[in-house]
Every structure is written in structure tokens, then in C-alpha cells.
């Protein structure tokens, strides 16, 4: 297999990051979770009081972006690339519901997207990466070697996310999760800059009824056919 850039896109909780991690491990590639970058910036905004009355205080956040350092480090104990915000491992913090409920508001800010996309492209310069997000195959790497678009219903995705949260210190009700996912779907697909959409040359994989392992095996078959 050659040195590929594999782009995985789809709505929230379609299992993009899980698939990307499994593929990266199987292929010996590096996994980059682009959504984690937006979540880290959202966490920064929350911790610095940059939300008011359900809105982002953009005039306060944008000048601070130059002071935000985001990078990934390999956790040798679990083999995962984990995200650091200004020197702190925030992998667990960025998965909490408060961040999930605000991340789409942050992700639509043009200056935030410029910062994140620039970093994502730098990380992908040497290929052999699997990157997941919402605009990887359309904006970040429009020339990616292989593009996958994951698809599952909002109900299936909400149940998946709900069950994940039950195992954390910050559980939520199914109704809360479904509402959050529905709102994020709308914001992600209608924002002015880099809205979520399937790239014309992306291969759709419906995984609502598939386990993470089954989803990976299905994509590995696609990669095999791609290389033949």
C-alpha cells in the first residue's frame, strides 16, 4: 500500500473518530481528529468566559486565537493520539456535553476555521494519515487519495452517543443527546464556511447497524479495491 491521505467525513456521532483510530492502527498510519481541535478551542472559550446568553463573544475570542497552542501527542499506554491545549491534556474534557453543545458555534467562526485548517494541512504534509471531520474531503484535503462519508440516522447516532456518555462522569439523557445532535446537524450543514456535505468523489458507508469493527472491515475492503 502506498502512502495515502484518507479523509473521513460525516455528521456528529457517526463513528468517524473511532473508525479513523482503528484504520490508523491497522494501517500503521497517524490518526488526526480534526473535530478535537474545534472542541479544544471551544473548551478554551468556555474556560475563559467567552459565551454569553447562548452566543460566542467573537470579539473576545478571535484576538486570543494567536495564544492558543494545540498539538497532539501519542499516549504510549493506550496507543492513541491525544490532544493538548496550551500544554494540558484535554482529551477527556473536550468530550463533555457542555463542549458538545457549543462546538458548532465555534466551528463556524471564519478565523477559527482558518487556524484549524492550516494546522490540519500541516499535519497531513507527509501523508500516511487518516483524518476525520466534517470538511476534510471537501475543504482540508480536496485531493485526498481516498474519501469516506459515514452515514447513520440521527436516532442511531444519538443512542450511540448516549451509551458512550453513560460510561463517563458526565452522563446525559437520551433526549438531551438527540436534541444536541439534531441542532449540530443543522448548524454543521448550513454554516456559511465549509458546511458539511459529501464530496462528489466520496464513498458512502452506512454504518448505523454496524459495529466499529464491522465498519472498519468494510472500509478496509474499499481500500483493498482502491489499491488493486
d(CA 18, CA 117): 21
79 is in an annotated binding site: no
- Do 108 and 163 contact (CB within 8 A), yes or no? no
For residues 12 and 182, the answer to whether their CB atoms sit within 8 Å is no
Long-range contacts made by residues 62-66, C-beta under 8 angstroms, separation at least 24? 62/109, 62/111, 62/112, 65/41, 65/111, 65/112, 65/115
User: Is 18 assigned to a binding site?
Assistant: yes
Report the first-to-last Cα separation within the chain, whole angstroms: 10
Query: Is 16 part of any known ligand binding site?
Result: yes
The answer to whether 173 is annotated as binding is no
Calpha distance 82→30 (Å, rounded): 12
Annotation-wise, does 34 bind a ligand?
no
> Is there a binding annotation on residue 14?
yes
The response to whether 215 counts as a known ligand-binding position is: no
Within the chain, how many helices (H) and strands (E) appear?
A: 9, 10
167 is in an annotated binding site: no
- Residue 190 half-sphere exposure toward CB, CA atoms < 13 A: 7
**Residues 24/30, Cβ–Cβ less than 8 Å:** yes
Contact call for residues 105 and 55 (beta carbons, < 8 A): yes
Q: Are 196 and 180 in contact (CB under 8 A)?
A: no
Residue 10 annotated as part of some ligand binding site: yes
Binding-site residue set for ATP: 10-18
Q: Binding site: which residues?
A: 10-18
Amino acid at each position: 500500500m502506498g502512502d495515502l491521505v484518507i479523509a473521513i467525513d460525516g455528521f456528529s456521532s457517526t463513528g468517524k473518530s473511532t473508525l479513523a483510530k482503528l484504520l490508523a492502527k491497522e494501517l500503521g498510519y497517524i490518526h488526526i481528529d480534526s473535530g478535537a481541535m474545534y472542541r479544544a478551542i471551544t473548551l478554551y472559550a468556555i474556560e475563559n468566559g467567552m459565551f454569553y446568553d447562548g452566543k460566542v463573544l467573537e470579539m473576545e475570542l478571535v484576538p486570543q486565537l494567536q495564544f492558543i497552542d494545540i498539538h497532539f501527542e501519542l499516549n504510549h499506554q493506550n496507543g492513541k493520539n491525544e490532544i493538548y491545549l496550551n500544554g494540558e491534556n484535554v482529551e477527556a474534557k473536550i468530550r463533555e456535553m457542555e463542549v458538545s453543545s457549543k462546538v458548532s458555534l465555534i466551528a463556524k467562526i471564519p478565523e477559527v476555521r482558518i487556524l484549524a485548517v492550516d494546522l490540519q494541512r500541516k499535519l497531513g504534509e507527509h501523508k500516511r494519515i487518516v483524518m476525520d471531520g466534517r470538511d476534510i474531503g471537501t475543504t482540508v484535503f480536496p485531493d485526498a487519495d481516498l474519501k469516506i462519508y459515514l452515514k447513520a440516522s440521527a436516532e442511531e447516532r444519538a443512542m450511540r452517543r448516549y451509551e458512550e456518555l453513560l460510561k463517563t462522569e458526565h452522563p446525559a439523557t437520551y433526549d438531551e443527546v438527540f436534541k444536541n445532535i439534531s441542532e449540530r446537524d443543522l448548524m454543521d450543514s448550513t454554516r456559511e464556511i465549509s458546511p458539511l456535505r459529501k464530496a462528489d468523489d466520496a464513498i458512502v458507508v452506512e454504518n448505523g447497524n454496524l459495529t466499529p469493527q464491522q465498519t472498519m472491515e468494510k472500509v478496509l475492503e474499499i481500500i483493498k479495491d482502491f489499491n488493486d
